[in-house]
Structure 1
Amino acid sequence: MQTVVDCTDLDGELRFFVDRAGFRVHLVSPADDPRRVVVERNGSLIELRRGSEDHPVRVRIDGEPQDDEIVSPGGSIIELTSGSDAVDIPPNRPTLTVIEAVNGDFGTGRAGMQYRDLLPDRWGGRFIASHIRIDEEGDVADWVHFHRIRFQMIFVAAGWVDVVYEGQGEPFRMYPGDCVLQPPEIRHRVLRSSGGLEVIEIGCPAEHDTLADHELDLPTTRDEPDRSFSGQRFVRHVAEGSQPTSWIDPSLDVVDTGIGEATDGLAGAVVVSSASGPVGRPLSHDGEFALVVGLAGDAVLDLGERTVALAARTSVAIPPGTAWSWSEHGAGHRALVVTLPADGIRGC
C-alpha cells in the first residue's frame, strides 16, 4: 500500500523526500520523462505523481526525528517518530481459548469503560481481545489519544457510539455491525455513547502504550482519508447497505469490512451470516491468529475433539493448523471473524 502525492514540481518533491526526509527511490516511470516516482522508507511507500495541482498529505513514519515536522515544497508534512518507540511484538503462543457469553467478569478500564477479557492468556502477550461495554448513555470521559500498536480494530456489537479521528472529518456515529480500523498512532477520541453500548476490540500486541495528545484538536481542519499511518489506512466500515457475498463455507454469506485491503493484507475482518442449511465444510488457517465472536443467533462450531455453542458474545480463539467447521447455524446467526493475515482462512 502506498500514499499518493500529486505535485506540480516533481523534481523538487523528490529532492525533499530523498535528501531531507531520508527516503530512497523505489520506482521511476517512465525513465525518459518521469511522471511517477515511488520512494520508500522503513516500509512506507510514497508515490509522487506530476500533476497540475499540489495535493499534499501528512505521513507519520518511524525514524529519528529531525524536527517536530518537516514540510515538502508542495506542502506535504512528514512526522518522524523515534525508533525508540518501536512496538515490541512478543512471540506467539497460541492456545484454543473459548470464552462463553456468561463467563468472565467486567472490570473498569480507561475512561470508565468496562472490559471483559476474551483472551486471558493473551497468546503469550501477542494479542488482546476485549468485550467492552458502557451501561449508561452520555458523554464519555475520554481525551485525544493514540496507541503504539501493530494492529487494532473496534467493532460495535450493540448500541451506538460517537467518535472522531484525526484527518477523517467530523465526528460520526457507529451502529451495530459498524467497525473501524485504528492504524498505528492515529489520534482519536470517544465522545458519547448510548446506554448498553457493546464493542469488540482486538489488538496486537496485548500490552501497548496509550498516549495523550494535548496539542491536537479534533476534528482536524484537513481531511486526509488516504493518509498512511505506518503503512495502514483508516477504515470506517458501515454495515447498513453492505452487500454480502458467498464465503469459503457456501452455507454462510460474508461481508468484508475492508480491513484487509487497508492493512495490505496484515489483518482481515469479516462478518459471516447464515445463507442456507449448514454444510459443515472444514476450515483452517495457517497464519498467526483467528478469532470468531458470536454476534446474533445460535450456531455450533466443531473443533474436532470439542464443540462450542456459539451464542452471541461467545468467542473462540483458534490456533493455527486447527480444523473447525460450522456444524450447525440457525437463521439469523451472525459472527465476526478476525484473522492475521487477512487471507489466513482456507478450506481443508
Structure 2
Amino acid sequence: MPDLSTLNVLDLSDAMLEYQKLGWSVLTIRPADDPYEAVVRSPDGEMKCLRRTPIVISRLGGNSEGHTGRASMIYRDLIPGRWDGRYVASHIAVPDGGEVPDDVHHHEVDFQFLAVRSGWVDVLYEGQGDIIRMQPGDIVLQPPGIRHRVLGTSPGFDIVELGCPADHLTTFDHEMTLPNGIYGDHLWGGQRFVFSSPGVFADAWDHPGFSSDDSGISAATNGIVDVRRVRTSDRLDTCPLTPHEFRFLFVMDGDIKVTVSDGTAHHLESGDSIALPQAAQAQVTQGATNASLLDVLVPQTAAS
C-alpha cells in the first residue's frame, strides 16, 4: 500500500460515515472489534488514513485510584487507551515516602520527561554527578537510554511522567553503578539531559494574558517535544491554543476551563488533565483561582 497522509479524527465512526457520504470507500479497518484506524479511498483514487484521536480527560477524584507499578509506586493512567499506543502519561505517587526499591535502569523511548507536583524525590542519573533532588515545579528530560535510579521521596510525593511511545521497554543495568561522575556535553539518542527549575515567567503563552517559562526541552530534543510551565492570568482572558499533533495540559494547582471545538466546556481542577488532538481547537479560560499548568506540545512534524 502506498504512503498515506494521516488525518487524526475525534470520532472514527463519524469520520468514516462523512467520507462515505462524499463517495469515498472504506478499504481497511484496524482492529475489527474496536477500530482505531481506517484507510479510505476517493472516487479518483486518493487515499487517506483516518486515525482515532479522542479528547481524553482524567480527574484526580475520578474512579481510578491507580495501581502499583514499577518500584512499588502508585500509577494513575492519565490517557486510558493511550491514543492507541502513541503516548503514555502517568500521575505517580508515593504516599508514605521513604526509600524506593529501585535499580539502575533505562527506557527505550522517543522522549520521556517528569515534572514534580508536590514533595521531593532524590534521583541519580548517569553522567550527572551526585544525587539530584527534584522539588515542586522541577522538570527532568530523561533522554533515550540514560541510566538512572530513584532513591527515595518525601511523604506525599507525586509527579507527572509522560513518554512516547506508550509501550516501551525498560531494561535493568546490573553493571553500572551510580553516581559515575560527570560526562559534560553528552547525547543519549540524540538528546541532552535537562534538569529545569522554574524560571522567570516572561514569555507569553499562546495568548499575551498568560505567561510561561522555557524548560529547555525543545532545544534538547531538537524540537521533538516542548514542555512549558504556565501561569494563568488574573484577568478573565481566553487563550486560544495553537493546534499541535498532541497537546497535554496538567493542572498543577488552581483551576481552568477548557472549551473544545463543539462548544463543550470542561472545568479542570488541581490534579486533572486533558489530552488534546489537533482537531479539538481548544481554548483555555482562567478559573476561579490562578492556575499553574504543565503544557506539553508535540508538533505535527515530530509526531509524523
TM-score of the pair, normalised by structure 1: 0.69
State the Cα distance separating 1:243 from its structure 2 match: 4.1
Structure 2 match to 1:236: 195
What do residues 93-139 of structure 1 show as CA deviations (whole Å, max 9, x unaligned)? 42100111211221000100000000001101111000000011211
* Secondary structure at 1:286 match in 2: coil
What do residues 294-320 of structure 1 show as CA deviations (whole Å, max 9, x unaligned)? 111121111133111121111100011
Structure 1 match to 2:269: 311
TM-score of the pair, normalised by structure 2: 0.79
2:69 alignment partner, one of 95, 109, 128: 109
What do residues 72-93 of structure 1 show as CA deviations (whole Å, max 9, x unaligned)? xxxxxxxxxxxxxxxxxx9964
State the Cα distance separating 1:155 from its structure 2 match: 0.6
Structure 2 match to 1:324: 282
Residue pair 1:301, 1:328 contacting (<8 A) in 2 also? no
Q: Which amino acid aligns with 2:65?
A: D
Distance 2:268 2:184 in 1: 36
Match status 1:272 vs 2:230: yes
Structure 1 match to 2:55: 96
When residues 93 and 171 of structure 1 are mapped into structure 2, their CA distance, relative to the original with a 3 A threshold, is farther
Q: How does 1:15-164 map to 2 (within 5 A)?
A: 93-103=52-62, 104-164=64-124
Distance 2:118 2:202 in 1: 20
Distance 1:306 1:225 in 2: 49
Structure 2 match to 1:26: none
When residues 154 and 286 of structure 1 are mapped into structure 2, their CA distance, relative to the original with a 3 A threshold, is closer
Residue pair 2:244, 2:297 contacting (<8 A) in 1 also? no
2:243 alignment partner, one of 285, 288, 293: 285
* Secondary structure at 1:310 match in 2: strand
State the Cα distance separating 1:273 from its structure 2 match: 0.5
Distance 2:97 2:158 in 1: 12
What do residues 182-217 of structure 1 show as CA deviations (whole Å, max 9, x unaligned)? 000000000110011110000111111111101111
Distance 1:233 1:125 in 2: 25
State the Cα distance separating 1:335 from its structure 2 match: 0.8
When residues 341 and 93 of structure 1 are mapped into structure 2, their CA distance, relative to the original with a 3 A threshold, is same
Distance 1:178 1:342 in 2: 27
Q: Which amino acid aligns with 2:143?
A: P
State the Cα distance separating 1:283 from its structure 2 match: 2.0
CA RMSD of aligned residues (A): 2.0
Q: Which amino acid aligns with 1:234?
A: F
Q: Give the number of equivalent residue pairs.
A: 252
Q: Which amino acid aligns with 1:237?
A: S
Residue pair 2:234, 2:290 contacting (<8 A) in 1 also? no
Q: How does 1:200-219 map to 2 (within 5 A)?
A: 200-219=160-179
When residues 343 and 161 of structure 1 are mapped into structure 2, their CA distance, relative to the original with a 3 A threshold, is farther
Q: Which amino acid aligns with 2:242?
A: S
Moved more, 164-173 or 278-287: 278-287
Report sequence identity in percent. 38
Distance 2:200 2:68 in 1: 34
State the Cα distance separating 1:163 from its structure 2 match: 0.4
* Secondary structure at 1:261 match in 2: helix
When residues 124 and 238 of structure 1 are mapped into structure 2, their CA distance, relative to the original with a 3 A threshold, is same
* Secondary structure at 1:299 match in 2: strand
State the Cα distance separating 1:242 from its structure 2 match: 3.9
Residue pair 1:164, 1:190 contacting (<8 A) in 2 also? yes
State the Cα distance separating 1:249 from its structure 2 match: 1.2
When residues 247 and 262 of structure 1 are mapped into structure 2, their CA distance, relative to the original with a 3 A threshold, is same
Structure 2 match to 1:30: none
Distance 2:125 2:251 in 1: 28
Moved more, 326-335 or 188-197: 326-335
Residue pair 1:284, 1:321 contacting (<8 A) in 2 also? no
What do residues 275-331 of structure 1 show as CA deviations (whole Å, max 9, x unaligned)? 3413213223132x1100111112111113311112111110001132111123344
* Secondary structure at 2:269 match in 1: coil
1:335 alignment partner, one of 281, 293, 296: 293
Structure 1 match to 2:252: 295
Q: Which amino acid aligns with 2:220?
A: A
Structure 1 match to 2:25: none
Distance 2:115 2:81 in 1: 22
Unaligned runs of 5+ in 2: 1-36, 38-48
Distance 1:324 1:279 in 2: 14
